[in-house]
Structures are given as C-alpha cells and as structure tokens.
Amino acid sequence: MANPLDQIQAPITAEMAEFEVKFRQSMQTKVLLLDKIMGYIVRRKGKQVRPMFVFLTARASAADPTAPLPEAVFRGAALIELLHTATLVHDDVVDESNYRRGFFSINALWKNKIAVLVGDYLLSRGLLLSLENDDFDLLKIVSNAVKELSEGELLQIEKARSLDITEDVYFDIIRQKTASLIASCTAVGAAASGADKATIEKARLFGEKVGMAFQIKDDLFDYGTAEIGKPVGIDIKEKKMTLPLIYALQQASWLDKRRVIYNVKNNAGRRDRVQQVIDFVKQSGGLDYAIRTMERYRDEALEILHEFPASEARNSLETLINYTIEREK
C-alpha cells in the first residue's frame, strides 16, 4: 500500500531530498561523542511533517509557485527541526522517559547530563544558523513558538495538580504546546519565501488551526481509538485533563464528577481506575464532542487555506490536513 505522505510530498520531493542532505551536514561536529549522538538523532527522524509544512507553505505562498525556493526556506526548516529536537531531548529528561517514537531516548543511552548538554547544543546551532545568515524574522517566529511551548507545558503541569481545568484553559494549553509549533512552520514557510506580513499571518493562523485539530486527535488516541504504540489511558495516568474528559465532567452530576476526579487523582497507574474513567468519558459523549471540535478546527484551517491561490502545494496541504486527523498513529 502506497504511503500517503509520498503523494503529499510530490510537489516538494526535490526540496525534501536536498533538505535532508543539508540538515545532516548541519548536525556534523568535530566532537566525537557529540557527532555520534547527532548521527543517532538524524537516523531516528520521524515522518518529517514539520519540514513538509514549511516547504509546502513556502510554495503555496510564493509569487511563482514553480520557481526554485530561496535558501532561507531550507534554513527556516532546519531552524525549526533543531529547536524542536532540543525541546524533545530536554522533555525526555524532565519526563524521565526512556523511549521516543519506539527508540531509546538520548537520556536513556547517555544519561541526563549529556542529554541536557545535547539539547543546549542543538538550541545554539539553531540560533547561530539564523544569526549567521541574518534570518532575524525567522528566528523571532521560531523563538516565540519555543516560548509558547514551554509556557504551555508549565500551565499543564500546574493544572494537573488541581484538575481545575476548563475548556478555555485546555485550548490555551494545546495552542501553546502543539499548535504554536505547526503555526511556526507555516509562518516560516511564508516568511522565507518572501510573502508580505498579511500572508505570513494568514499562514500562521492556518498552521495554528491545523495544530489544534492535530492535538485533539492525539488526545482521542488515549481512549483506545487506534493502536499507536502509546498505551491507552496514559494521559489519565499522568493526570492530564484532555477535551473528552473535560466535556464529560461538564455533563456529570456532582457525585459522578467527584468519583471520576478521585479516580484520576488517585489512579496510581491502576488499570481498573483508569478504565472506569475511560468508560465514563465514552458513555458521556466526550469522544463525539472532541471529534466534532477537531473537525471544526480542520474546516477553519481549510477555509483559510483556500484563500491561497490554487496550486499543487495547496492541494498537498489540504491532503496533509486530512492525513493529520485521519491518521491511526
């Protein structure tokens, strides 16, 4: 069966191949241990969705969608990958996680001290890449996304202690934690291709809507909607309040709400208590509500996308949006 991402990449196949070579080169270093770790990071790269958003948006925003893309687009994609990878390496240390996408994490293989230093190194490489090429506008976009991501993580940790989270707070968290990064990809793509401020903002808002839909889809996986390699109920075990649960609690009686919150707070990884919460959410319509909300964000993203001129890149972006919310992992 053909990989749907291959079809989505069709308008930017050459750019993605060129980017991979340039990104590998940007990760090389003369420090033997560091070079070994950089090689490990490059080899276990994921689906490359972030660079795809950068290159496709750059094409869709360009005055001539068939002209060669400026070098700034490649640097923008590399900047996002470097800074995002740095945050993931640091996240694994904070979460004491031994795995990332089925591979051993950096901290699992080389311990926390080295992992923190590797994250710092990736961050500095990204900053220098922009500063050496005067890409201040791109650096501002991506740095703001990293700031938002950190704030979103801290807000989620704060709310996990009290579980007093409303829908509005949940949307703030996922806008900062997930949507800000995809928004930075689309904004960087537009900015690096030479688009005006209005087009850059339109591209940013488009990416934000996609990111919101993407995170709600990820939250739905916690309820066993597909096999993704992530254990069912992991968000509940970690006391993360996601949209299906928030909605279900809003519909519940005082007694049911108290019982469910108790199970979330005191599950201690117990499968029976986690399962009770999952069953409660399903029976209360929490999954259906989350799916409707996800589809609303998708539709808003498509509406913005269709303001861009028709092109192969725009078609691929539309397919990519649908892929992000129809994926099974």
The pLDDT score that the predictor gives to residue 299 is 95
Q: 238: exposed, middle or buried (C-beta count within 10 Å: 0-12, 13-18, 19+)?
A: middle
pLDDT of residue 225: 52
Cα–Cα nearest to 305, from 291, 319, 293: 319
Given a contact cutoff of 8 angstroms between Cβ atoms, the answer to whether 133 and 173 are in contact is: no
Per-residue model confidence as pLDDT tens digits over 222-238: 887 544 444 566 777 77
For the chain, give the percent of residues with pLDDT over 70.
92
Helix axes 312-326, 49-61, angle to 10 degrees: 150
| Alpha carbon separation from 186 to 61, 142, 191, 192 (Å, rounded) | 10, 11, 9, 10
Q: Which of the residue ranges 43-52, 139-148, 165-174, 213-222 would you say has the lowest mean pLDDT?
A: 43-52
Strands 99-100 and 103-104: antiparallel
Give the predicted TM-score (pTM) of the model: 0.88
Kindly state the DSSP code that residue 175 receives in the 8-state scheme: I
Unique residue bearing structure tokens 């739905």: 220
pLDDT tens digit sequence for 265-289: 776 666 777 888 888 888 888 999 9
CA 67 to chain centre: 29
State which amino acid sits at residue 274: V
Query: pLDDT digits over 148-181, tens only?
Result: 988 998 888 887 777 778 899 999 999 998 899 9
Check residue 102 and give its pLDDT: 66
d(CA 305, CA 52): 15
Mean pLDDT of 208-221: 92
For residue 209, give the nearest of 303, 287, 146, 307 by alpha carbon. 303
